[in-house]
Amino acid sequence: MKKNIFFFLVLLTAFQAAMAQPAVPKHKIAIFTPLYLDSAFDATDEYRYAKNVFPKFINPGLEFYEGVQLALDSLAKANAPLEVYIYDTKSATETLSQQLQKSESDSVELIIAYCSATEVKLFADAGLKRNIPVINVNLPNDGGVTGNPFFVLLNPTLKTQCEGIYRFIQKYYSLNDIIVFRKKGQLEDRIKTYFDDFGKNTVGSPLTLKYIDLVDSFTINHLRPYLDTVNQTVCIAGSLDENFGRRLTQQLASLKKQKYLSLVMGMPTWDGIKDFSKAEFKGIDILYSTPFYNPRTDKVSLAIINHFNNVMYARPSDMVMRGYETIWRFGKILLQYKSDIASNLAYKGFNVFREFDIQPVLNRQNMLDYFENKKLYFLRWQDGMLKAVY
């Protein structure tokens, strides 16, 4: 595999020609993703690793690009007048600022960014300066962005996630005893603040939350006093730490076998925990929220899965799906609304795998800071099976 082949596919134009009549102007999109091409190839364009070795740090950005490319292929078949530029944000020869300047000279009308926490503000400022939308596809982090009507977060912030969890419990379990088990830490304190602040301003009856700090080596004996054998207790894992959540759930599952009734509500980081299908977690209901639920039973998902099975002998990751749906949805919105796309970022159409609920985020002065996807799905692990419940 040669580096110049990657540059031809990735850095020049990933989507050109033969899509529309020559007289039809093409709308331009810039895709920024970490491809690490300069890390994968040496100065002579030779691949740095063994043929059967593919470094894990390259995977997410490349998988996102693969999903983008599949969507572009589908749009090309529909003669969509789009011209897309791909930028490797981990280039060793160009800084991100230089790449953003290049995209400006290319007159792109939309930026889609798979970015790091240190890059968020740079992307947002570039969109504000040029009055073009910037779609952040991966980070649940606003990077301190304020007063920017061109910036969109597709991955909801922790604040939004906590508010969604609060609403869900308020709707279905408000009469239960509710315990927030947590460990000590700044993020844990922030989660508590989000719950408490939302409770003070909620329209419905506020929940009565009891916070219990646990030691690192907590056992079922630390949990038992807060549970009941008659009434079900809602146990919220008030920490993003996956190991904490895994331990809490396992201990609660053990107590369930002793007739203590509980369900556990986790954090969005639990989307990456696959251990919940194991036998030691059976018998207890495990809930958590995620904005990126895809049961992969629709026609497009099945076609992507089939393509990966037959061509790459692999299973498409969630980043592949995100790449596909992002360029499809916002490319379609750009084609429909053209120069007025910034006023229509919340358009409800063109969803592929899941819904988006893009809403303005207002500051304390009731002024717009940016836009954020507020749509959350709640999933339930029950006896080794994962299903959507809300």
CATH class of 3-156+296-356: alpha beta
Write the CATH number of the domain with boundaries 158-290+378-388: 3.40.50.2300
Cα separation, 212 vs 178, in Å, equals 11
Mean pLDDT of 98-125: 96
Task: To the nearest 10°, report the CA torsion of 41, 43, 44, 50.
Answer: -30
- CA proximity to 287, closest of 172, 373, 372, 203: 172
Looking at residue 364, its pLDDT comes to: 85
Residues 136 and 123: beta-carbon distance below 8 Å: yes
Looking at residue 327, its pLDDT comes to: 97
Looking at residue 1, its pLDDT comes to: 45
Kindly report the pTM of this predicted structure: 0.89
Q: Residue 207: how many CB atoms within 10 A of its CB?
A: 20
Q: Residue 364: how many CB atoms within 10 A of its CB?
A: 5
Cα separation, 224 vs 87, in Å, equals 54
Enter the DSSP assignment of 26: P
Higher pLDDT among residues 203 and 180, named by residue:
180
pLDDT of residue 9 exceeding 50: no
Looking at residue 10, its pLDDT comes to: 42
Residues 284 and 382: beta-carbon distance below 8 Å: no
Q: List pLDDT tens digits, range 210-265.
A: 999 999 999 999 999 999 999 999 999 999 999 999 999 999 999 999 999 999 99
Instruction: Please give the angle made by the CA atoms of 38, 39 and 44, to the nearest 5 degrees.
Output: 60
Sign of the CA dihedral running 135, 295, 172, 252: negative
Q: Does this chain's domain 3-156+296-356 share its CATH topology with 158-290+378-388?
A: yes
Cα separation, 169 vs 54, in Å, equals 43
Cα separation, 108 vs 102, in Å, equals 9
Radius of gyration (C-alpha) of the chain in whole angstroms: 23
DSSP string across 161-195: HHHHHHHHHHHH-TTSEEEEEE-SSHHHHHHHHHH
Cα separation, 372 vs 13, in Å, equals 29
Q: What is the mean pLDDT of the chain?
A: 91
* CA atoms within 13 Å, Cβ hemisphere of 191: 25
Looking at residue 22, its pLDDT comes to: 55
Domain ranges of the chain: 3-156+296-356, 158-290+378-388
How many angstroms separate the first and last alpha carbons of the chain? 45
Percent of the residues in the chain that have a pLDDT greater than 70, as a whole number: 90
- CA proximity to 128, closest of 116, 143, 138: 143
Higher pLDDT among residues 390 and 258, named by residue:
258
Q: List pLDDT tens digits, range 85-106.
A: 999 999 989 999 999 999 999 9
Looking at residue 54, its pLDDT comes to: 66
Q: List pLDDT tens digits, range 334-364.
A: 999 999 999 999 999 999 999 999 999 998 8
Looking at residue 275, its pLDDT comes to: 92
Looking at residue 47, its pLDDT comes to: 64
Phi, psi of 278 (to 5 degrees): -80, 165
Q: Which of 43-57, 62-76, 375-389 has the highest mean pLDDT?
A: 62-76
